[in-house]
Amino acid sequence: MTDNTHFVTDGKISIKLGATSTVLEYTLGARATGNLGTVWRYVRASTAIAQYDVVNFGTDWYAVPATATLVATGDMVGVAQVAFAAGEYGWVCTEADKISVNVSSSATAATQLYIATTAGSLSTTSSSGTLAGIHLTTSPVTTGVTLATAVMRAPTYKVL
């Protein structure tokens, strides 16, 4: 799948941020800088990931849709802007001035966010830990999935 919404700005012209592949094309964990203040990491999907899902991954760079029971302190957190099939490689956003993210319908702008019990989603309902470094700038809109716009600065998860 290819999408031109996001593109690299650091001179790495071969990188397609909106594409996934079944073949390893870059070093896992590779970093790229993109438009809209974005920073991206190259990961492999351990399971299927839906577009706009919040994902977590460790230093092995294997990403999964984040849930309160799967994410661990020290895991990196990002948002997939395209869908991944299990085993596919691609780029997830870890920092942004403006990015779409999957949220629960009760989420509101400018409130504490948590990893939801629903895989890949953020919530304002307390779970097993807090999520710092990501803030909603819009309230959610439901169009098939519930999305909001967020600002991210290297989100981190901390067990309560």
Q: Are residues 28 and 91 in the same domain?
A: yes
Task: Read off the amino acid at residue 111.
Answer: T
DSSP 30: -
121 and 71, same structural domain?
no
13 within domain boundaries: no
Same domain, 82 and 112: no
Residue 85 confidence (pLDDT): 98
pLDDT per position as a tens digit, 33-66: 999 899 999 999 999 999 999 999 988 999 999 8
CB burial string 88-122: b at 16+ within 10 A, e below: bbbbbbbbbeebbbbbbeebeeeeebbbbebbbbb
User: Final residue of a domain: which of 47, 69, 96?
Assistant: 96
Q: Indicate whether 4 belongs to any domain.
A: no
Q: 134 in a domain, yes or no?
A: yes
CA distance 84 to 30: 17
Note whether 55 and 121 are same-domain residues: no
Whether the pLDDT of residue 130 is over 80: the answer is no
Instruction: Please tell me whether residues 38 and 86 are part of one structural domain.
Output: yes
Q: Clarify whether residues 74 and 139 are in a common domain.
A: no
Residue 124 lies in a domain: yes
Q: Which residue has the higher pLDDT, 31 or 70?
A: 31
- Residues recorded for the chain: 160
Residue 14 lies in a domain: no
What's the pLDDT tens digit per position in 79-116? 999 999 999 999 999 999 988 898 887 777 888 888 87
Q: In terms of domains, do 55 and 83 share one?
A: yes
Residues 25 and 81 grouped into a single domain: yes
Q: 117 in a domain, yes or no? A: yes
Report angle CA 152, 61, 49 to the nearest 5 degrees.
Answer: 70
Out of 28-32, 33-37, 58-62, 134-138, least confident range: 134-138
Confirm if 19 and 2 have CB atoms less than 8 A apart: yes
pTM value is: 0.88
- For residues 110 and 22, give the distance between their C-alpha atoms in angstroms, rounded to a whole number: 38
Q: What is the pLDDT at residue 135?
A: 82
Q: Residue 130's closest CA among 76, 73, 70, 49? A: 73
In a domain, 3, yes or no: no
Please indicate, yes or no, if residue 133 is contained in any of the structural domains. Answer: yes
Domain holding 138, by residue range, is 100-159
Number of domains forming the structure of the chain: 2
3-class SS at 141?
A: strand
Task: Judge if 105 and 89 occupy the same domain.
Answer: no
